[in-house]
Chains A and B, each alone.
Chain A
Amino acid sequence: MVETKGPTGPPHGPAPSLWPLGFAIGLTVALVGLVIGSWLSVAVGAVLMVAFGYVWVRDAMTGGESTAVVATPASAAVAVVDEEPETGTYGRGTFLGLTTLGLGGVISGMVALPVAGFAVLPAFVGQGTDDIDIGPIGDYPEGEFVVATFLSDPEQGEVSRRTAYVRNNGVKEGLPSFTILSNRCVHLGCPVQVNGLSLEDQKQLVEVEGGPSVELTPTQAASGFGCPCHGGQYDTEGNRTAGPPVRALDRYRFAIRNGRLVLTEPYSVGEVDGAGADAVIHAYDWVNPSVHVDGPESILYPLEPPH
């Protein structure tokens, strides 16, 4: 025996091959098909992937050294299939080995799957919050933003405290109108600030059922909102005016129940045309900050987890 420590000789590895290139093209065609919703493109891509993947793996297995080995005449292959397998090629030891592996795999799966599910699923199942009462509509003077901070989920406590900028737009066609902007920057989620006067001395606490008070701080002459983290700027409708944000500020849908303003659910906004009660809001389901809702980049985010 020659004592060898560590590998010797030329390194193991598949020979250079162009097949992966075809495989990559197939993958691209299939993914583009998924994005633009063309099943034909997906099918063509899948066929390319299977075909190129097969020859790629085949060449890699044979080291790509001699195609003669691969190109065995069909008759030879048939002859091999016709032969009876030798007795003892699938013996007791092989059977026991495979059984142990298989049973071990089943048992590990039975243990691991529920645990992995417990690690992942609670983050995606049963999301969404209850409606949030943020006080009587009389506390929201017309035409100015009020900073409202409230618990989005009183059971979770202070960690669920959120802030919205609420502006009473008056009455439009017999219905009250509010602009309710989330204070989370749609760049990366920092809290945006009011560009204007925040009247801290006029802060008031409003009692709500089932949780601590909602804090209302009036503002004066707000010209928009700015984010301290990376400089994103928004106008009073939440449209981006400068900086890195990719859409307009998120908003809350609202209802008025017994004269009180209630936030029902957040949603995302591409952009807002017009202003105040006459605004046309391009609304989308709520998505994470930094996710595009419109424009060509939005094809990069075809799926959103359940919120």
Chain B
Amino acid sequence: MATSTPPRRRKQSPVVTIVNYPLDWLEERSGLVGGVKYFLSRRVPRDSSWWHTLGSATLTAFLVQTGTGVILAMYYKPDPDKAYQSIQHITNDLTLGWLVRGMHRWGASVFIILMFFHMARVFLFGAYKYPRELNWIVGALLLITGMLEGFTGYLLPWDQTAYWATVVGININASAPFLGPFLAQFLRGGAEIGADTLARWYALHMLLVPGALFALIGLHLYLVTRLGVSSPPWSRVGAGRERPPEKPNGRAGLTRGGRE
């Protein structure tokens, strides 16, 4: 550790000290405060607008789904003989159950719709172009995983709509050439929809697919932070920073050395 003379202290209000001391403690040991500061106060184009908020709106919708879903899981029973009754119990008997289930049910549609709006914004602004192609691909994977959440969640109320819609959905998978029938049998957990199918879809819906979503969202946000926000196509100000001058040997990579 480098030793240096401590800076002179200015007299601080005790309130500021009380707030800042734990933050200093945390920053010294983790660097997290600086990280959050960096994330929140990074530079964005001056003419970024409300259009640029669709991504964080989608993230908010996802977090609402996470929160309400975790609580719903405390009352829902993924058993063919009990699932429907437990949904009725949540909706009709439990305090505020109708509200949280409604948030989850309608929030699912909001999440999907916002994903499409966000995607349309990125497409129309040309924000998918170099160097952000990879983030477009991650976004497309997020769209697919998000729709998988919708598909697996739709079965869980275990009413007639849910059951037959899922029968049809699984059989659409079965109609894919070559591997379709295998995919369908994996989704059913057997040759027929049976006692294990509901629990299987519950596990997919609340563990496997959300795990993939969290990982992809992390990657998506990392790339957004690393590459910066693109300015709108009508912007007169160039986005980002000046491109550094090309080095004489060009750029090196794993598959391609610098030019000789």
Chain A positions near chain B (C-beta within 8 angstroms):
2, 4-12, 60-63, 120, 122-124, 127-129, 152-153, 156-160, 188-191, 229, 287-291, 300-307
Contact = CB atoms under 8 A, between A and B. Distances in A.
18 contacts: A6-B228, A9-B251, A61-B256, A63-B255, A63-B256, A120-B186, A122-B196, A123-B186, A157-B80, A158-B80, A159-B194, A188-B171, A189-B168, A190-B168, A289-B171, A290-B174, A303-B181, A303-B182
Contact of B172 (A60, A63, A290): A290
B178 A157 contact: no
A305 B226 CA distance: 46
Interface of B: 80-81, 130-131, 164, 167-168, 170-172, 174-175, 177-178, 180-182, 184-186, 188-198, 226-228, 240-241, 243-244, 246, 250-251, 253, 255-256
Contacts of A6: 131, 226-228, 240
Q: Specify the main secondary structure of chain B where it touches its partner.
A: loop
Contacts of A160: 192, 194-195
Contacts of A159: 80, 193-195, 197-198
Given A120-B186, A300-B177, A290 B171 contact: yes
A188 B167 CA distance: 7
B181 A9 contact: no
Contact of B171 (A61, A123, A189): A189
Given A159-B80, A290-B175, A8 B181 contact: no
A189 B167 contact: yes
A127 B174 contact: no
A124 B170 CA distance: 16
Contacts of B170: 189
A127 B190 contact: yes
Given A288-B184, A303-B178, A4 B244 contact: yes
A142 to B, nearest CB: 31
A123 B130 contact: no
B243 A8 contact: yes
B242 to A, nearest CB: 10
B169 to A, nearest CB: 9
Nearest to B256: A63
Contact of B168 (A11, A157, A188, A288): A188
B167 A60 contact: no
Contact of B226 (A5, A123, A290, A303): A5
A61 B226 CA distance: 27
A12 B164 contact: no
B195 A156 contact: yes
Contacts of A304: 181
Contacts of B256: 12, 61-63
A8 B240 CA distance: 12
Contacts of B192: 129, 152, 160
B228 A60 contact: no
Contacts of B193: 159
B171 A122 contact: no
A12 B253 contact: yes
Contacts of B185: 123-124, 288, 305
Given A122-B189, A188-B167, A189-B168, A289 B174 contact: yes
Nearest to A228: B164
Contacts of A157: 80-81, 195
